[in-house]
Amino acid sequence: MGTRIRIQARFTAAAAAGVLGTGLLTAAVTSPAESAVTATTGPSCGTVVITKADGSPWTCTFADEFTGTKLDTTKWVPQLTATSGFDQGGVCYTDSSTNLAVTQGALKLTLKRASWATTCKSTRGNFSTKYSSGMVSTYTKFTQAYGRFEIRAKFGTTKQPGHQSAFWLYPEVPGNIWPYSGEIDIAEWYSKYPDRVIPFLHYGGTYYDPYATNNNCKVANVGSAWHTYALEWTPQTIKFIYDDQVCLTNSTASGKDPFNKNYMVALTQLLGTGVNAPNVFTPSTGSMTVDYVRVWA
């Protein structure tokens, strides 16, 4: 089962990365130094001081507690199929309140299957689909090289295949063809494997790196209880931490191309594909709910 999960994670991310790389990342940027940040000053990441391995505190660089009634577009960009062409599995990504909402102090991204198909506008050609969903990113709003990236979230509740939730980072300027461009999947949940959450590093050496992923990070009640999913990324190591427990540490790739440049943050509710494709028992709706997103340098 572990191998099957690894293959599915790679193909899912590849589809997303291919579109993001061609459809969204067009802004010119400067090369980052360590902990280089493009963000507004003065965000608050809560009252708890989190320290680095050397004992010094992390410094908050980006935060959203989703306390309003709509998405803060000074921090986030809704990723729409109409403008990006992203449609993995034939899903139409929209900013409709049924797919993307800020309510009760949280961001809710919802996948929905309608009773009948409608036309979805896309930069890659309009298509007919019953599925719609939500996705946001910090494209053009915030990017950072190295630091701590964290969300507090609930993923789905179904045990049927067909739903997928993702908290991931993608390069501000890819520069190369995926996977050489790089991608950091901090936490991905597949409903076919509801008892675990999976990290994944995508880069040129992924196939040969035994620490590119870990299929065995068990997380109980991913949809009914809040959990924290974090990445601590330095020039020396890339560490994935779920509920304060280290899931995976990679000391091979960090600090080297492509993991030495600015990345943006993305949150996506997806329709499963491949071995996690939906079946006749898959629920018509599925959501990821995010209590906060916090980033430190």
Q: What is the residue-averaged pLDDT of the chain?
A: 89
CATH number of domain containing 249: 2.60.120.200
The DSSP code for 277 is -
The answer to whether 270 and 88 have CB atoms below 8 angstroms apart is: yes
List helix spans (H) across 56-190.
Answer: 81-84
Is residue 21's pLDDT more than 50?
no
The residue range of the domain holding 154 is 2-296
* Residue 199, preceding peptide bond in cis (omega within 30° of 0): no
Q: Is 43 left (phi over 0), alpha (psi -120 to 50) or beta?
A: beta
Question: For 91, which DSSP code?
Answer: -
CB distance 289 to 139 below 8 Å: no
Q: Count of domains in the chain?
A: 1
pLDDT band at 5 (very low <50, low <70, confident <90, very high): very low
Q: Write the pLDDT tens digit of every residue in 206-230.
A: 999 999 999 999 999 999 999 999 9
Spatial contact of 232 and 247, defined as CB atoms under 8 Å apart: no
DSSP state of 82: H
Contact assessment for residue 24 and residue 84, using Cβ atoms and an 8 Å cutoff: yes
Reference 266, options 147, 165, 191; nearest CA is: 165
Taking residues 177-191, what's their average pLDDT? 97
* 166 three-class SS: strand
Q: From the CB of residue 42, how many other CB atoms can be counted at a distance below 10 Å?
A: 8
Whether the per-residue pLDDT at 4 is higher than 60: the answer is: no
Residue found by looking up tokens 């980033």 in the block: 295
**Which of these ranges, 30-34, 100-104, 142-146, has the smallest mean pLDDT?**
30-34
Percent of the chain whose pLDDT exceeds 90: 85
What is the bridge-based pairing of β-strands 127-133 and 92-93?
parallel
Q: Residue 42: what pLDDT?
A: 79
Residue ranges of E strands in 172-280: 183-190, 198-202, 227-233, 238-242, 245-250, 263-271
Is the distance from CB of 173 to CB of 25 less than 8 angstroms?
yes
Q: Which of 181, 164, 204, 188 is nearest to 247 (CA)?
A: 188
Which pLDDT value is given to residue 131? Answer: 98
pLDDT above 60 for 30? no
pLDDT of 79-131, one tens digit each?
A: 999 999 999 999 999 999 999 999 999 999 999 999 999 999 999 999 999 99
For 193, phi then psi, to 5°, come to -125, 70
Per-residue confidence (pLDDT) for residue 18, from 0 to 100: 38
Q: What share of the chain is helix, strand, coil (3-state, %, to 5)?
A: 10, 40, 50
Q: Tell me: the pLDDT tens digits for 37-96?
A: 444 457 999 999 999 999 999 999 999 999 999 999 999 999 999 999 999 999 999 999
Residue 175 has pLDDT above 60, yes or no: yes
Task: Give the alpha-carbon dihedral of 36, 295, 12, 28, to 10 degrees.
Answer: -30
What is the predicted pLDDT for the residue at 41?
Answer: 57
